Structure 1
C-alpha cells in the first residue's frame, strides 16, 4: 500500500505563521482554481473526501495539511501533503486574490521543509498566464516540480503527448521539472505520480 493512502487531516491555516514549524518533508499541490487539485489529492490518497473541492472555485482559502504517519514512529508524521489555495478565480475580489498570492508566494519561497511541488495544469488549457505566475514563484526555489496535466481523459493519446511537450517547453525555466498526463477519474498517470511524490517524502519507502 502506498504511504499516501495513510494520509489524514492534520491542520488548516490562513497564514504561514499558523503552520507548524518546518520539520519533515512537505509536498505541496498548487494550481489555478478548478484545475482538479482536490480530485488529484483524493485519488492519490485513495480517499473520496480527504481534500474538499468547493462548488464555487476559489472559495477554499486555507492551507490544508495532511499528515503521513511514520510506520516506525507513531508520534511524528513521516511527511505532509499540503493543499494550497486555488489561485486566480475571476469572481473573487481583487484584494482577496492578491492576499492569496502573497500567501502562496511566501510558502513557495520560504518554507524550508518543502521537498517538492505538484503543479496542476488543465491539459485542455495548457499553461495560462496564471500558471506562468505560479511558475515564476517556483523557479527561484530550485525545488523539483511535477506537473500533472489534469483531465487527460478528455484528449486522445496523441494530443496528450503534444500537450506534455508544450508544457515542458513553456515551463523550461523550471529546472527539475517532470510533466505527465493525469486523470483522477480514469486513474491515468496515478502510479507515476504516486512514485514521484513518495520518493520526495521518503526515498527509503517503496510504494
Structure 2
C-alpha cells in the first residue's frame, strides 16, 4: 500500500504564520483553478473526499495540510501533502489575487521543510504565463518539481507524449523537472506520480 493512502486532514491556515513549525518533509500541490488539483490529491491518497474543491473556482483561500502518520513513532508524521490555493481565476478581485500570490510566493520561498513541488497543468491548455511565473519562483530555490499534466485521458497517447515534451522544454529553467501525463479518473500516471512523491517524503520507505 502506498504511504500516501495514510494521509489525513491535519490543519488549515489562511496565513503562513498559522502553519505548524516546519519539522518534516512537505510536498505542495499548486496549479491554476480548475486544473484538477483536488482530484489528484484524492486519487493519490486513495480517498474520495480528502481534498475539497470549491464550487466557485478561485474561492479556496486556505492552505490545507494532510499529514502522513509515521507507522513506527506514535503521534509523529512522516510528512505532509500541502494543498495550496489555486491561482489565475479572472473573476476574483485583484486584491484577493495579490494576497494569494503573496501567500504562494512566501510559502515557496520561505518554507524550510518543502521537499518538492507538484505543479498541475491542464494538458489541453499547456503552460500559461502564470505557470511560467510560478516556475520562476520554484527555480529560485532549485526545488525538484513534478508537473502533472492533468486530464490526459482527453488526448490520445501520442499527443500526451508530445505535450509532456513541450512542458519540459518550456519549464526547463526549473532544472529538476519531470513532466507526466496524468488523469485522476482514468488513473493514468498514478503509480509513477506516487513514487515520486513518496521519495520526497520518505526516501527510505520506497524500494
Q: What TM-score range do you get, normalising by the shorter chain?
A: over 0.9
Q: Who is 1:98 aligned against?
A: 98
**Post-superposition shift, 1:29?**
0.2
- Root-mean-square deviation (Å): 0.7
Which secondary structure state, in structure 1, belongs to the residue aligned with residue 191 of structure 2? Answer: helix
Counterparts of residues 15-34 of structure 1 (less than 5 Å)? 15-34=15-34
Q: Could you say which residue in structure 2 is the equivalent of 1:148?
A: 148
Deviations 1:132-157 (A, max 9, x none): 11111111011100000000000000
1:156-184 deviation line (CA, Å, top 9, x unaligned): 00000110010001001001000100000
For 1:1-207, list aligned pairs within 5 A. Answer: 1-206=1-206
CA distance in 2, matches of 1:162, 1:66: 33
Deviation at 1:206, TM superposition (A): 2.7
**CA distance in structure 2 between the partners assigned to 1:4 and 1:39 by the alignment:** 14
CA distance in 2 between partners of 1:86 and 1:121 (Å): 11
After TM superposition, the score normalised by the length of structure 2 is 0.99
Aligned counterparts of 2:11 and 2:60: Cα–Cα separation in 1: 14
How many angstroms does 1:74 deviate by?
1.6
Take 1:34 and 1:141, find their aligned partners in 2: how far apart are those partners?
26
Distance in 2 of aligned mates of 1:68 and 1:143? 21
TM-score, normalised via structure 1 length: 0.99
Which consecutive unaligned segments of at least 5 residues does structure 2 have?
none
Deviating runs (4+, > 3 A) in structure 1?
A: none
Cα distance, 1:88 vs structure 2: 1.2
Residue-pair matches, total: 207
Deviation at 1:55, TM superposition (A): 1.5
Runs of at least 5 residues in structure 1 that lack an aligned partner in the other structure: none
Q: The residue matched to 1:173 in structure 2 has which SS?
A: helix
The separation in 2 between residues aligned to 1:152 and 1:55, in whole angstroms, is 22
